[in-house]
Chain A
């Protein structure tokens, strides 16, 4: 099993909340449309600049707020992983449960700058700034959590366990489908 994500890093600050990423009015939209509103006020136009495979890196208390499936919305844009100095635990769980790799690096906004390329290995618990050469390690996540991420989140696991129809096995790995199956929270 290997959960490594590597890509261009977008750097954000502290206390980014769920409404900054998934505003209430966007809950009325389809996921593809809603995803165009991520950081709509914090960094207007960002969703046109981000490319599949990019990484979102933030500071402290990342994702404070709602249960709404913000992490899943990032996968709609093709974001490959999240990194933060500190995650809100609900937001972190949402990332895990949607199969989006997430790593906590206590000083990440000091060692990464916007546009750097980073490589993050959840299994080894290591990271590297490929642009500057800086690297480090973090405590490894429990296997139970790594397994969920490796499965692509909880929904594909439910197919494997027979709770959801077999034919959904592959479709559920498509984020725009997965986000719709379980709906939203708030």
Chain B
């Protein structure tokens, strides 16, 4: 019997011919990423760590420090990397949201295992990496021992076919899938099929990132030429990608015709079975529009937003916040003029951080406010008040909605 992508990666890691659903495996972790929040408590220095070259430390959730606790955490992080000689330290100024930093710096490699104390670590599944968000105690443990365990879950495969319309993004594809099929706890998700070749890497990243939102274990994309060329441009070579076997066993194969999709929006609370085409949502007023996060703060997301907003103005009474996913994205978006276009239209450009997405700083919502966000999660209270409502859509839809003041299909404001 053949193996799915994730079964193949895990089998290789344990030097087994095959693993199957139900197996528990102990694997070496190729790259472990610590985030700033881990240091913002007592943080006890370990006596020793497994391998400083397999570790990265990223300042992202609470930068620049909004609280004294976070500022103290920054000091702990800096001491830790100095004491243990961690070269991959992304301090404020060369930082970014960890999953963007991972992508930019080749920390996620096809066929390898990546762990980080942020639930959207599955983002690196776009690069054919077995990537998991794990709890801070487990990440601490992997930092020390270099290993962890996984229970192999059954895999559901999404088989993409057709070509998406220009106005449709990875976000729309994900929101469609989440609405159609709902949650996937204790399941791996796999993405591939003939339609994959037409799906750019940034859209794949959005989809992979949001696998956490349907409660999945691993979410991974098939390797292809698009991935290979994306990695080659960043000097990433010498990996062994994992393609699924043609006779792999799936719990279910779900076909998705990309040509049939249109811009989607998720209603507040959850993305699971809670969405609809934007064109069918009528007159929903918004107070805040947010473009950012590991899912949709990429350079291409800012480009799309800038194209929608160029020469237009954010509606009175609406706040548009734009948070680049990394300092590198920020600088490139500035060089290319995207930030100028966005700011000219009335957007507030923030520094790169996870800030508004998790309701910690940089754009917290008040009671009875409505937000349209391109970020990762629309739980009640996620971005601030539990009396605020969070709708989720693509950067294009968020940008269009900022212009009109109502949740708006971007096809109606471009041109």
Q: A residues bordering B, Cβ < 8 Å? A: 15, 17-20, 23-25, 27-28, 41, 60-61, 64-69, 71-72, 86-90, 93-94, 97-98, 142, 144-145, 153-155, 157-158, 161-165, 168, 177-186
Contacts and interface: CB of A to CB of B under 8 A. Distances in A.
Given A23-B381, A61-B185, A184-B136, A88 B141 contact: no
A95 B216 CA distance: 17
A154 B138 contact: yes
Interface stretch (B13-21, B145-153, B407-415): B145-153
Interface residues of B, number: 57
Interface SS majority for chain B: loop
B138 A97 contact: yes
B381 A185 contact: no
A72 B44 CA distance: 17
A104 B145 CA distance: 28
B118 A186 contact: yes
B156 to A, nearest CB: 14
A186 B354 contact: yes
Contacts of A86: 185-186
Given A28-B69, A69-B137, A72-B137, A183 B47 contact: no
B27 to A, nearest CB: 12
Given A19-B382, A64-B215, A165-B44, A183 B73 contact: yes
A66 B119 contact: yes
B137 A154 contact: yes
A67 B137 contact: no
B405 to A, nearest CB: 27
6 contacts: A66-B119, A69-B137, A86-B185, A98-B137, A158-B140, A185-B117
Nearest to B43: A183
A181 B42 contact: yes
B375 interface: no
Interface stretch (B33-41, B162-170, B224-232, B283-291): B33-41
B123 to A, nearest CB: 13
A19 B380 contact: yes
Contact of B140 (A20, A66, A88, A154): A154
Interface centre among A157, A168, A183 (most CB of B within 10 A): A183
B135 A144 contact: no
A90 B43 contact: no
Contact of B183 (A64, A163, A164, A179): A64
B140 A185 contact: no
A177 B43 CA distance: 10
Contacts of B136: 67-69, 182-185
B340 to A, nearest CB: 31
A41 B185 contact: no
A185 B44 contact: no
A109 B242 CA distance: 40
A41 B384 CA distance: 13
Interface of B: 24, 26, 35, 37-44, 46-49, 61, 67, 69, 73, 117-119, 132-141, 144-145, 149, 151, 153, 183, 185-186, 212-213, 215, 217, 270, 272, 354, 358-360, 377, 379-383, 386
A164 B46 contact: yes
A182 to B, nearest CB: 4
Contact of A184 (B40, B67, B186, B382): B40
A153 B134 contact: no
A25 to B, nearest CB: 7
Contacts of A17: 379
A159 to B, nearest CB: 10
A90 to B, nearest CB: 6
A163 to B, nearest CB: 4
Nearest to A70: B135
A185 B135 contact: yes
B24 A142 contact: yes
A87 B215 CA distance: 9
B141 A154 contact: yes
B380 A89 contact: no
A149 B139 CA distance: 16
Contact of B35 (A18, A24, A165, A185): A185
B186 A89 contact: yes
Contacts of B24: 142, 144-145
Nearest to B149: A144
A93 B360 CA distance: 25
Nearest to A94: B135
A165 B47 contact: yes
B46 A93 contact: no
Contact of B118 (A64, A97, A154, A185): A185
B141 A97 contact: yes
B134 A67 contact: yes
A173 to B, nearest CB: 13
Contact of A186 (B61, B137, B386): B61
A119 B48 CA distance: 40
A69 B136 CA distance: 7
B144 A90 contact: no
B177 to A, nearest CB: 16
Contacts of B215: 61, 64, 88-89
A61 to B, nearest CB: 5
B135 A163 contact: no
Contact of B135 (A25, A61, A69, A161): A69
Given A64-B215, A98-B137, A181-B42, A163 B48 contact: yes
B386 A67 contact: no
